[in-house]
Structure 1
Amino acid sequence: MVKNLQIRLSLVEEAQKGSLKQRAAKYLGLSEAEFVLKILRKSIDARKPDVIFNYKLAVFIGEDVPSNTHIFDYKNVSKSRPVHIIGFGPAGMWAALRCLELGFKPIVLERGKNVQDRRRDLKAINQDHCVNEDSNYCFGEGGAGTYSDGKLYTRSLKRGDVRRIFESLVHHGATEQILVDAHPHIGTNKLPKIVQNIRETIIAHGGEVHFNTKITDFVVRDNQLKSIVLNNKNEMEVERVILATGHSARDIFYLLDRKKIALTAKSFAMGVRIEHPQHIIDSIQYNCGGQRHELLPAAAYSLVEQVKGRGVYSFCMCPGGFIVPAATAPGEVVVNGMSPSRRNNPFANSGIVVEINVDEDIRNYERFGALKGLEYQKDLERLAFTSGGRTQVAPSQRVTDFVEGRISTDLNPTSYQPGLQSAPLHSLLPRLIGSRLRKGFEEFGKKMKGYYTAEANIVGVESRTSSPVNIPRNKNLEHPEIKGLFPCGEGGGYAGGIVSAAMDGERCAEAAAKGF
């Protein structure tokens, strides 16, 4: 017999070993020896002073606990028909894994380096302010997701099987805790090994993964994609191509536009990253005076406000994390956030961004057509570069000074390794962004008492929240003009994070396989 239970434990009970099973036994009227528990979901409710741990449980009475539901049947595809996959971020990785299951040979072409060699280029951008255009926090094995918090929360529940993606991650080395937590994450220190394991699975079953391989041209005849050009010299014949290059592969957008392959401008969001001492966020969220209990994770938050007809909201909130330089070319400054698995850094950071409606907000960029959002994005990143001192040092301001229109005479300590430069972001940011951010921060301070504080810095700019360009596709997930081309993931405008990109990668693999 199997029963489902929901049990709530206080912080005191959570700290007591065995209390969960004791409570379940009392509820069921059974001895603890008569059943086995399996935790299905765990969440924390900190809305009131007394923190509560919520558990959703499956109780197995006289039955064995089943193993995870998904069995991944990866076939030997060394002699199978190929599907070419451009990009080896989450969309490309799961497209390749799904090809193995479907009996097709994935040939992955990644412009960047493998996950180990990538580390040198991340060190170079942090310490020497040197940006490698093909190997950075966005490009390379695992894409932008590899060196990130590894947040796995998604609202894209109708696009695919979320549980299947989680179990695939566990299969490749992630902790089973991600199957339980309401807001699961893996951590930037653990993701690289998982990414490497996925690559090894692909190669072990006959697939191919090629690094330092950049797509520089598409050869199209009679509206059919016939071949791709690699590194401006080698031409490779193709039948089915999954384009999973991510939201920062601007050269791909320029290439498609130059070849007059249909693109459309897409609304996106831009703003800044705010950084607080973690103890401030803990104090607000847990009502703990800044000293959170050891059983409580570093506190997170999610904020949204409508200001002058546009959403202002938190994005990619990283508790116990750090801010990193996410530029993909010289002459720009872009910031992003990430956390280690333990989220034990003394800072909390989050993007705070403003919705940009490309049809109404940036009419001065109409001459760029489908790339107008991209060009607006680039201009703001160049502004951050010059105002930070023309290195990877980022322009920054205390949030209270930003809102009140003052230059910060000094800045708070930061996790951002290249360093910060005081800059008048209140006057530098375009009005459509800056004015909404100022109002948004005031409102957020009302929702979270203590959030609006001189102890927090804002850092510019947070500009790579999503793709400003959409690569269209039809109901079969194929480009409406180019047969054999399947736009995929964040770069195509069809995902917004690791899990949704992975699910879209699987769908595109299935669609490409049907086309044969």
Structure 2
Amino acid sequence: MTKILNYRLKPEIALDEANFAAFVTNKLGAEAHWKLLKRSIDARSRRVQVNVEIALSEAGEDPRPFAYQKPQNNVADKSEVIIVGAGPAGLFAAMRCIELGAKPIVLERGKDVQARRRDLAAINKEHKVNPDSNYCFGEGGAGTYSDGKLYTRSKKRGDVTRILEILVAHGSQEDILVDTHPHIGTNKLPKVIEDIRGTILSRGGEIRFDTRVEDFVIREGEMKGVKTQDGSIIEGIGVILATGHSARDIFRLLQTSGVKIESKPFALGLRVEHPQVIIDQIQYHCDTRGEYLPAASYSLATQTQFDQVQRGVFSFCMCPGGFIVPAATADGEVVVNGMSPSKRDSKFANSGIVVAVENEDLKAYESEGDFKALAFQTEVEQNACAIAGGTQSAPAQRLVDFVKGKTSTNLPDCSYQPGLTAVNMREFLPESIYMRLRDGFKSFGRKSKGYYTNEAQVLGVESRTSSPVHVPRNRETLEHIEVKRLFPCGEGAGYAGGIMSAAIDGEKCAEKLIEAYLDTRT
């Protein structure tokens, strides 16, 4: 029999392994069998506390059994499923295919996690963007080198615990099973991705890097396979399309191939960076957070009015103790994103602050049809690049200067390696975006004293929040509404918003494809 116990503890007890073990031993005795189930920081009052949940069980009973086991079967000679993209959706789809007896062939336009590092260095140091290998494209997808946060609100979509257990089984720290906002860290996630690759290959699956899809093989209304850049035709029982939110060439290819797509709302704005100590002071109500509390994070949202229309302004992908990184996928555009190492020990805190962009906001782009949101996104990114000098240098402005429409005479230290160019953001941001961000920052300053300060600065642009294109699929079968054997998946198709939800969606698409077609290969 298992008994659940809940405690509210000081950070120095709950967040220090030795102190916590001593506390439990003192409370329950040295012979007690217990396991930590949940842990969350409560900073709502001036005295920060940590809520912990412990399972106390009888000897030999595991109160939280580890259900996931790596697959032992070999699928080398089984029916083949083509998976386009090796991000979380594609990789988890591949592992689920193996479990269900199909052979995944994963096609990734970018490089493996280690080779990819050289291309990231070239962006930061030489301002050279490899369109196939960058912070968005390559093994593990955008999340591999941009944080590894595992928080999700999509618990209704699937088994979150299963995804976390798979990550732990492939090398992630077990803390992600108990923390309210689990985080692996961009320094540790690449090794986890490598181990997942090892599982896929060892069980008979294939992963082909530097393999860009340039055409689809569609016959009689069914997706039979794909054609790659070297002219190879690869066919299987179905195709899982898991390309991520930045695969613009794939979106265009879908349209020219007669596959229905749609414009989709997304969000666009800037990334704001504060000294981490300011965010700690705001969130923890103290001068310094001390050695036990982690770098503080925040979540902010407000409603703004412009041209008699209300739109939300909200924080996105907040990275405590982190860095701002260049996320462009082509030369001539500037895109920024955030990441944090596992210790979150940078002196900076950054977050996207973005504005909801709805289809009715895109009237000037109606001639672009299904690509109107994409055209809007691209234009802002290119304008940001042009105003900052045409390289990966990011346009930047001190926060109060931004709100007042004043070009900053100088800029504070920043974590963004390619460098900054002081500009007036209003010169390239659409007026509706600028005005809403301006009002949003003022609102955040009223809610969080100390947030609105010229010690902070904003960088442009945060534009890859989600895909600007939606690939419609049947709600029950997860198959494209018109093209059979095509399973649009993950962020790129508009069905996920991060590592966890993408992984869950990848598994579901694999399950549906195999349920429908495993025994009908032609």
TM-score range, shorter chain: over 0.9
* Partner of residue 493, structure 1: 494
Counterpart of 1:239 in structure 2: which amino acid?
Answer: I
Given the superposition, is the C-alpha separation of residues 237 and 11 from structure 1 closer, same or farther in structure 2, using an over 3 Å criterion? closer
Computed over aligned residues only, the root mean square deviation of the Cα atoms, in angstroms, reads: 1.5
Could you report, residue by residue, the CA deviation over 1:11-59 in whole angstroms, capped at 9, with x for unpaired residues? Answer: 35447876656766787xxx50342221101011111111101101101
Between the aligned partners of 1:19 and 1:135, the Cα distance in structure 2 is: 44
Query: Structure 1's 74 and 490: CA in aligned 2 closer, same or farther, altered over 3 A?
Result: farther
- Partner of residue 350, structure 1: 351
CA distance in 1, matches of 2:353, 2:490: 23
The one-letter code sitting in structure 2 at the alignment partner of 1:348 is A
Kept in 2: contact 1:8–1:54 (CA 8 A) = yes
Stretch of structure 1 that moved more, 426-435 or 414-423? 426-435
Structure 1 distance, partners of 2:94, 2:13, is 45
Write the deviation string for residues 478-516 of structure 1: whole angstroms up to 9, x where unpaired: 111111110000000000000000000000000110122
Identical-residue share of aligned pairs (%): 57
Q: Deviation per CA, 1:412-445, whole angstroms, max 9, x where unpaired?
A: 1100000000010034211111000000000001
Contact 2:82 2:225 (C-alpha < 8 Å) held by counterparts: no
Deviations along 1:147-183, one digit per CA (max 9) or x if unpaired, are 0211000000111100000000000000001001110
Task: Summarize deviations over 1:247-291 as a string: whole Å, max 9, x none.
Answer: 0000000011122210111110000000001111111111121x2
Is 1:11 equivalent to 2:11 in the alignment? yes
Change (3 A) 1:341 1:181: same
User: Contact 2:43–2:284 (CA<8 Å) still a contact in 1?
Assistant: yes
Query: In structure 1, what residue type is equivalent to 2:93?
Result: A
What amino acid maps onto 1:317 in structure 2?
Answer: M
* TM-score, scaled relative to structure 2: 0.95
Counterpart mapping for 1:3-402 below 5 A: 3-11=3-11, 13-14=13-14, 20=20, 32-65=29-62, 67-231=65-229, 233-289=231-287, 291-308=288-305, 309-358=310-359, 360-402=360-402
Instruction: Look up the SS of the partner of 1:515 in the other structure.
Output: helix
Contact persistence 1:74–1:97 (CA under 8 A): no
Letter in 1 for 2:253: L
CA contact (8 A) 2:273 2:457 kept: yes
**Counterpart residue identity of residue 323, structure 2:** F
SS in 1 for 2:303: strand
> Helix, strand or coil for the counterpart of 1:233?
coil
Post-superposition offset of 1:108: 0.4
* Closer/same/farther in 2, CA of residues 257 and 292 from structure 1, 3 Å limit: same
Question: Matches of 1:73 and 1:117 in 2, distance apart?
Answer: 27
1:17 and 1:481, CA in 2 relative to 1: closer, same or farther beyond 3 A? closer
Deviations for 1:168-205, whole angstroms, at most 9, x for unmatched residues? 00000000010011101000000111111111110000
State whether residues 271 and 352 of structure 1, in contact with CA within 8 Å, keep that contact through their aligned partners in structure 2: yes
Seen in structure 2, the aligned counterparts of structure 1 residues 387 and 238 have a Cα distance that, compared at 3 Å, is same
2:483 is aligned to 482
Distance 1:406 1:179 in 2: 46
Report the residue type matching 1:314 in the other structure. S
Q: Deviations over 1:385-437 (max 9, x none)?
A: 00111000000000100101111111111000000000100342111110000
Q: Is the 8 A contact 1:403 1:426 kept in 2?
A: no
1:34–1:62 contact (8 Å) kept in structure 2: no
8 A contact 1:489–1:495 mirrored in 2: yes
Distance 1:509 1:74, change over 3 A: farther
Assess, with a 3 A threshold, how the Cα gap between structure 1 residues 15 and 252 changes in structure 2: closer, same or farther.
Answer: closer
Inter-partner Cα distance in structure 1 for 2:247 and 2:393: 23
Structure 1 residue 70: deviation in Å?
Answer: 2.3
Query: Does structure 1 retain, via aligned residues, the 8 Å contact 2:81–2:105?
Result: yes
1:327 to partner: Cα distance:
0.4
Question: By how many angstroms is 1:352 displaced?
Answer: 0.2
Letter in 1 for 2:346: N
| Aligned amino acid, residue 514 of structure 1 | E
Counterparts of 2:515 and 2:67, CA distance in 1:
25
The secondary structure found in structure 1 opposite 2:334 is coil
Three-state SS of the structure 2 residue aligned to 1:236 is strand
**What code does the residue aligned with 1:503 have?**
I
CA distance in 2, matches of 1:155, 1:63: 34
One-letter amino acid of the counterpart of residue 177, structure 1: D
Q: Secondary structure of 1:174's match? A: coil
Aligned residues: 511
Could you tell me how far apart the structure 1 residues matched to 2:16 and 2:514 are?
52
Q: Which residue of 1 aligns with 2:450?
A: 450
Q: Is the 8 A contact 1:11 1:50 kept in 2?
A: no
- Given that 2:73 and 2:98 are in contact with CA atoms closer than 8 Å, whether structure 1 keeps it comes out as yes
Report the TM-score, using the length of structure 1 for normalisation.
0.96
Shift of 1:5: 0.9
CA contact (8 A) 1:37 1:57 kept: yes
Would the alpha carbon gap of residues 78 and 282 (structure 1) be closer, same or farther in structure 2, given more than 3 Å must change? Answer: same
What amino acid sits opposite 1:154 in the alignment? T
The answer to whether the 8 A contact 2:13-2:23 is kept is no
Contact 1:281 1:348 in 2 (8 A): yes
The 5 A counterparts of 1:452-471 are 452-471=452-471
Contact 2:333 2:385 in 1 (8 A): yes
Aligned CA distance change for structure 1 residues 18 and 326 (closer, same or farther; 3 Å) = closer
Q: What amino acid is aligned across from residue 229 of structure 1 in structure 2?
A: K
From the superposition, tell whether residues 495 and 323 of structure 1 become closer, same or farther in structure 2 (CA, over 3 Å): same
Which position in structure 2 is the counterpart of 1:423? 423
- Tell me the CA shift for residue 447 of structure 1: 1.0
SS in 1 for 2:155: coil
Structure 2, unpaired ranges of 5+ = 518-522
Report the secondary structure of 2:252's partner residue. Answer: helix
* Structure 1 position 292, deviation (Å): 1.3
| Per-residue deviation, residues 97-141 of structure 1 (Å, max 9, x unmatched) | 101110110000000011110001000000000000000000011
- Matched to 1:283, the amino acid is Q
Amino acid of the structure 1 residue aligned with 2:399 = V
Distance 2:16 2:165 in 1: 30
Q: Measure the CA separation in 2 of the matches of 1:7 and 1:281.
A: 26
3-state SS of paired residue (1:507): helix
Q: Distance in 2 between matches of 1:12 and 1:378?
A: 47
Per the alignment, in what secondary structure is the counterpart of residue 143 of structure 1?
coil
Distance 2:18 2:452 in 1: 41
Alignment check: 8 A CA contact 2:214 2:227 kept = yes
Distance 2:203 2:41 in 1: 41
Kept in 2, the 8 Å contact 1:74–1:100? The answer is no
Distance in 1 of aligned mates of 2:333 and 2:22? 57
- Report the equivalent of 2:513: 512
